[in-house]
Amino acid sequence: MNIIEIKNISKKFEDKLVLDNISFNIEEGDIFGLIGPNGAGKSTLINIMTGLLDSNNGSISIGGFDIKKEPLKAKEFLGLVPQELALMENISAYDNLEFFGSLYGLKRKTLKEKIGYALDITGLTEKRNDKVKKFSGGMKRRLNLAAAIMHEPKVLILDEPTVGIDPQSRNHIFEFIKSVNRERNATILYTSHYMEEVEYLCNNIFIMDEGKEIAYGNKKTVKSMISDNNKVNLRVDKINKDLISNIELMDSVINCDTSPDEIKLLVKGDTFKLEPLLKILEKNNSIIKSINVDEPNLEEVFLSLTGKNLRD
């Protein structure tokens, strides 16, 4: 059953079209990835989904309720974790959650139980009495998450939740997402421009760029869109500009990235031949230490479909 249905959503700001006929569905209990570079239109779409912004065309239903026609009923399903932190710095984590819980209409014993649950699942129980201004950026992100789940929403929207945080907090957030999805069957809409996060967490994905759909489906389906492409990773004893220039001139090479002793290629599998590459390496007196060929990841899918890197 689809808990979210997005149909033909378009949005203009003055003369600029920022969302162009966007449509996709999210099944109940799914962890769904909304992917695109900064400026792709992800946050605008989320603002429309949550009733903070009107679309010019199209419709969105959440839990069977149209966000325009029955906004209060639709919003009962939602918990939103925005990019911007919505916290009061000069009071404790506990007092922040007590405030947000009261906004959801939670009282006394129920409120206390929900605060305890939210602190526990985000790993902040030991910091409950500390003032938020003493928190690291990652801890503030986790408290933002805790505030969004006080009312146990059926749909949790996370807008770039790991931007600018430390690895420990990122892992806490990943475990939080898996836990609420597994234990409460919460549907997660996870937006990011970090493809490796989406590849790790999400089952189905929607990739967008410049307000348009680039790809939509489960990860396997999306990767199959460029199934003829492969990754070739070479470890070599030395790399110079002439070597890279010659490799980039090969017709079968889509993209070439380098590190001090490694060359990473995205190639057209139907035309790529190893022999010309070996000749280029030999010509430049570069010796191969190892070579392996693999299927592309989601970042390389984006590159292949748009002709640019996700974080350009």
Q: Where in the chain is the domain with CATH 3.30.70.100?
A: 228-294
In this predicted structure, the answer to whether residue 23 has a pLDDT above a threshold of 80 is yes
> What phi and psi values does residue 31 have, to the nearest 5 degrees?
-105, 110
159 sits in which H/E element: strand 155-159
Asked whether 30 and 188 are in contact (CB, 8 A), the reply is: yes
Asked whether 306 and 263 are in contact (CB, 8 A), the reply is: no
Any residues with CB less than 8 A from the CB of 16 and at least 6 apart, and which?
none
- What's residue 229's pLDDT? 77
Rounded distance between C-alpha atoms, residue 5 and residue 28, angstroms: 11
- Class level of CATH domain 228-294: alpha beta
- What's residue 215's pLDDT? 92
Confidence of residue 294 (pLDDT cuts 50, 70, 90): confident
- What's residue 55's pLDDT? 96
Q: Where in the chain is the domain with CATH 3.40.50.300?
A: 2-223
pLDDT (tens digit, 9 = 90+) per residue, 74-106? 999 999 988 888 899 999 999 999 999 998 888
- What's residue 158's pLDDT? 94
Confidence of residue 227 (pLDDT cuts 50, 70, 90): low
Q: What angle do CA 44, 70, 11 make, to 5 degrees?
A: 25
- What's residue 230's pLDDT? 79
Rounded distance between C-alpha atoms, residue 240 and residue 243, angstroms: 5
Sheet holding 155-159, edge to edge: 78-81, 155-159, 187-192, 31-35, 204-209, 212-218
Three-state SS for 57? strand
Say which residue the tokens 């690895």 belong to.
Answer: 167
In this predicted structure, the answer to whether residue 13 has a pLDDT above a threshold of 90 is yes
Q: What is the mean pLDDT of residues 246-260?
A: 88
- What's residue 28's pLDDT? 97
Q: What is the mean pLDDT of residues 263-279?
A: 83
Q: Using DSSP, how many helices (H) and how many strands (E) does the chain show?
A: 11, 14
Confidence of residue 312 (pLDDT cuts 50, 70, 90): low
Any idea which architecture 2-223 has in CATH? 3-Layer(aba) Sandwich (3.40)
Rounded distance between C-alpha atoms, residue 84 and residue 99, angstroms: 18
- What's residue 311's pLDDT? 61
Asked whether 19 and 45 are in contact (CB, 8 A), the reply is: yes
More confident residue, 57 or 162: 57
More confident residue, 225 or 178: 178
In this predicted structure, the answer to whether residue 246 has a pLDDT above a threshold of 80 is yes
Asked whether 60 and 44 are in contact (CB, 8 A), the reply is: no
Q: What is the mean pLDDT of residues 143-162?
A: 91
Q: Whole-number mean pLDDT of the chain?
A: 89
